[in-house]
């Protein structure tokens, strides 16, 4: 059950600095540009980002950002991709993250989204457990990555 004094609401410019500071405490890095762009997109007409904040009184204690994608990689279904989620450690285990996800699901459904996706580092076991508890399953897709090198032909003949 969510704390009664925690409210889930769309993120606004008034929340931005506190959310960026919370994210920095959680991740150890500043992603100010990322959050600024995503929040601006969420407020733009036709914007494709759902940006939510969990407030304890006036203080942000959690956030969730998801980008709505339509027809990615040839798919005909709209999906929402969670690309940032975080929760103040003192608010964990109190239903706040679940409330953020429920609000996202409601908003995504209204936008025609039929699937929610995300990625998680295997070492982020708390996040993986949270996603699993919310019904997420391993996708058949594999995420591949490689560094960009100055000369692809010499790096990978």
Residue 26 falls in which region: left (phi positive, over 0), alpha (psi -120 to 50) or beta: alpha
Structure tokens at 151: 């000369």
Q: What is the mean pLDDT of the segment spanning 118-133?
A: 87
Confidence bin at 138 (pLDDT 50/70/90): confident
Q: What structural domains and CATH numbers belong to the chain? A: 6-155 (3.40.630.30)
Q: What is the mean pLDDT of the segment spanning 30-58?
A: 93
Question: Has residue 150 got a pLDDT over 50?
Answer: yes
How far is 41 from 23, CA to CA, in rounded Å? 19
Question: Has residue 24 got a pLDDT over 70?
Answer: yes
Which is it for strands 49-56 and 6-10: parallel, antiparallel or unpaired? antiparallel
pLDDT of res. 152: 59
The pLDDT tens digits for 73-104 are: 566 678 899 999 999 999 999 999 999 999 99
pLDDT of res. 51: 96
How far is 34 from 25, CA to CA, in rounded Å? 16
Average pLDDT over the chain, rounded to an integer: 88
88 versus 47: the higher-pLDDT residue is 88
pLDDT of res. 46: 83
Give the whole-number percent of the chain exceeding pLDDT 90.
56
* Secondary structure (3-state) at 121: coil
Q: Model-level pTM?
A: 0.84
Question: Has residue 41 got a pLDDT over 60?
Answer: yes
Q: Which of 135, 114, 116, 144 is nearest to 52 (CA)?
A: 116
């Amino acid at each position: 059950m969510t704390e009664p004094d925690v409210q889930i609401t769309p993120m606004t410019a008034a929340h931005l600095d506190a959310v960026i500071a919370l994210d920095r405490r959680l991740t150890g890095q500043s992603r100010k540009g990322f959050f600024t762009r995503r929040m601006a997109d969420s407020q733009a007409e036709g914007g494709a980002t759902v940006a939510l904040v969990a407030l304890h009184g006036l203080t942000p204690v959690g956030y969730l950002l998801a980008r709505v994608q339509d027809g990615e990689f040839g798919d005909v279904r709209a999906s929402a991709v969670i690309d940032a989620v975080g929760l103040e450690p003192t608010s964990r285990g109190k239903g706040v993250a679940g409330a953020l996800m429920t609000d996202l699901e409601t908003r995504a459904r209204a936008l025609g989204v039929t699937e929610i996706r995300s990625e998680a580092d295997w070492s982020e076991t708390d996040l993986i457990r949270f996603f699993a508890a919310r019904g997420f399953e391993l996708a058949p897709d594999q995420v591949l990555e490689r560094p960009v090198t100055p000369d692809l032909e010499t790096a990978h003949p």
